[in-house]
Structure 1
């Protein structure tokens, strides 16, 4: 069985019983391809490493509050955004949850052990991630929560703000919790976030990750923002000292890096349009991504499996879509890398087309 996540490409080759090439380029993960932005000094970090972390996750907690201009009481820190989703399972146990697909598989994975009943809704068009607003309006009143990935993973599309706001308005009438996963919003801009709005609602939670923009997946750091009462209801399920001291210290520094964020956004925007132009030139259907990844579908959809094997043989690891509902293996997600790696991807696709 193929892994349900990107990254760890060796697991893909093991699962498919394929020989791993000497050189791999992992396009299945979508972490910032620019160099790590901080110069680490072990002497400065040693006091953090050898001491117990702050029980409230300082200094990162204060850094998040300052960055977004919100109160600390509206923030819940997590050992990665994944921990936030795991904590949500405790408050949604034995309830009905509406999930808009295709989307990040971790929502259902973290809720399933809590005997959650899933109501699954597919978007009307994958390339544009057109939300089925009429269907959502009909189903939201009967759900305890709705999960929406904004921008979406795996398509990279950010739904219109007015549609997200309309969903929030519908949900507030029935006390339905709206969970907005903004893990990739850094790539678009803070002007699109609902973080400053969330504390004003009783039933809105915005989840963010430090993994993607800031190139620190190994440290596991994320946070959620919502009404103080909602934050307290989630925090009571978290373990003590669940925020790594080193992650907290580095996370606080990362939020100061305005120039790094802006440079990352600019460079990815150029690379994204180059990739879009190339894929469309190959006859592919391409998602209207605004992030550092996009999904595409071959012109000859029936050859998707053979194409995936062909690229793996060349050491080019794409994110399969077999566990993305509505995509069912006929789409591929590609994370944007530095130009030499993107050229290798292009050469692989050209070689495929010339067979």
Structure 2
């Protein structure tokens, strides 16, 4: 684990680059392995619930029912829930609302937390996890990079490394006077949501704990923008004061309520199990039939792979109809990294065949 200070050096990663850029202007011509939204979503029943909400568009949004649903889903008081316009809005709220003399952002990870902190004028220190350790967090809260931070941000499971950090390792970062932010945007894609800290936001850890969730990934709602923050009532109230009026639309609220119902949770759990099996198949096929190897121990619906000519390979794969996510825009990674979304086995078979044809065979 190492640290990195202010950006601005040559080759500094573009923190505002995201996987959707790989699909722009491509229409339906590319098989999307660049964006981590589950394929074939939203399901028909969810589309119907969202469509039904359009009848009430003349009224201002009322988030009370959705807030109650999210609270019940996590076994928390309503005062511990804040609905947001996607998890990305929560990063902006955190950067603006909470005091932080020095923030430590664990990388490689989703870049919006750091971008939001810097835009708010916060001092940010990067804590870089090592490939040698499988990009896993070591559970030492006073290790270099964390010792003076009064705000720490870490993803779990982490995008793009697909690492699922032990809950105990994350909890060890909590301390009095510090805000620990855990981005669990992909946690519902992990069977049993093991290693989640959501249940501990109401107490039990020193300092302040904020857990962020997204409904975008599992349910295919990137265009609707719906997520939420879980924390203690005081923190939730502080974040809410920085939201505009009616920050979440009525269709998004309807989706949040629907996705917290027992049948939806059961469907998400089944999808997580199927996704784990599809990921295992992808890893096996990459190992058997290509020169690509995944970093660490992937646990999320995407894998991080290395190739010495990744930019060249990504361009060749576009020619063959596949969009892959470049990895060099994530701090701590270089130009030899690519992220691949996990898809069904038929898509994986086509991917591996195309990789071999492109020159990435074993």
TM-score by length of 2: 0.87
Aligned residues of 1:33 and 1:336 also touching (Cα < 8 A): no
Pairwise CA RMSD: 2.3
Decide which of 188, 193, 197 is 1:194's aligned counterpart: 197
Question: Who is 2:164 aligned against?
Answer: 158
2:88 equivalent to 1:82: yes
Counterparts in 2 of 1:354 and 1:262: CA distance versus 1, 3 Å: closer
Counterparts in 2 of 1:264 and 1:26: CA distance versus 1, 3 Å: same
2:299 equivalent to 1:290: yes
Instruction: Give 1:68 deviation, angstroms.
Output: 0.6
2:216 equivalent to 1:178: no
Pairs within 5 Å for 1:185-224: 185-188=187-190, 189-200=192-203, 201=205, 202-224=207-229
Instruction: Give 1:58 deviation, angstroms.
Output: 2.6
Question: Whole-Å Cα distance in 1 between the matches of residues 313 and 81 of structure 2?
Answer: 44
Decide which of 101, 109, 127 is 1:103's aligned counterpart: 109
Aligned residues of 1:58 and 1:248 also touching (Cα < 8 A): no
Comparing 193-202 with 315-324, greater Cα deviation is found at: 193-202
Secondary structure of the 2:154 match is strand
Instruction: Give 1:307 deviation, angstroms.
Output: 0.9
Question: Whole-Å Cα distance in 2 between the matches of residues 244 and 21 of structure 1?
Answer: 27
Decide which of 252, 272, 275 is 2:282's aligned counterpart: 275
For structure 2, list consecutive stretches of 5 or more residues without a partner in the other structure: 1-12
Q: Deviations over 1:89-139 (max 9, x none)?
A: 113577311011111010111111111111111112267222244485343
Question: Whole-Å Cα distance in 2 between the matches of residues 138 and 94 of structure 1?
Answer: 18
Aligned residue pairs: how many?
Answer: 339
Q: Deviations over 1:120-165 (max 9, x none)?
A: 1111226722224448534334112010001100011111222112
Secondary structure of the 1:232 match is helix
Aligned residues of 2:90 and 2:212 also touching (Cα < 8 A): yes
Question: Who is 2:243 aligned against?
Answer: 238
Decide which of 234, 249, 258 is 2:265's aligned counterpart: 258
Question: Who is 1:45 aligned against?
Answer: 53
Instruction: Give 1:64 deviation, angstroms.
Output: 0.4
Secondary structure of the 1:154 match is coil
Question: Who is 2:4 aligned against?
Answer: none
Aligned residues of 1:21 and 1:313 also touching (Cα < 8 A): no
Secondary structure of the 1:323 match is coil
Aligned residues of 1:90 and 1:237 also touching (Cα < 8 A): yes
Secondary structure of the 2:34 match is coil
- Structure 1 segments (4+ residues) deviating >6 Å: none
Counterparts in 2 of 1:67 and 1:316: CA distance versus 1, 3 Å: same
Question: Whole-Å Cα distance in 2 between the matches of residues 223 and 82 of structure 1?
Answer: 10
Decide which of 152, 155, 159 is 1:146's aligned counterpart: 152
TM-score by length of 1: 0.89
Counterparts in 2 of 1:42 and 1:156: CA distance versus 1, 3 Å: closer
Pairs within 5 Å for 1:10-29: 10-11=23-24, 23-29=29-35
Q: Deviations over 1:163-183 (max 9, x none)?
A: 112112xxx23x111000000
2:73 equivalent to 1:67: yes
Question: Whole-Å Cα distance in 1 between the matches of residues 320 and 133 of structure 2?
Answer: 27
Instruction: Give 1:186 deviation, angstroms.
Output: 0.5
Question: Whole-Å Cα distance in 1 between the matches of residues 85 and 28 of structure 2?
Answer: 33
Counterparts in 2 of 1:43 and 1:231: CA distance versus 1, 3 Å: closer
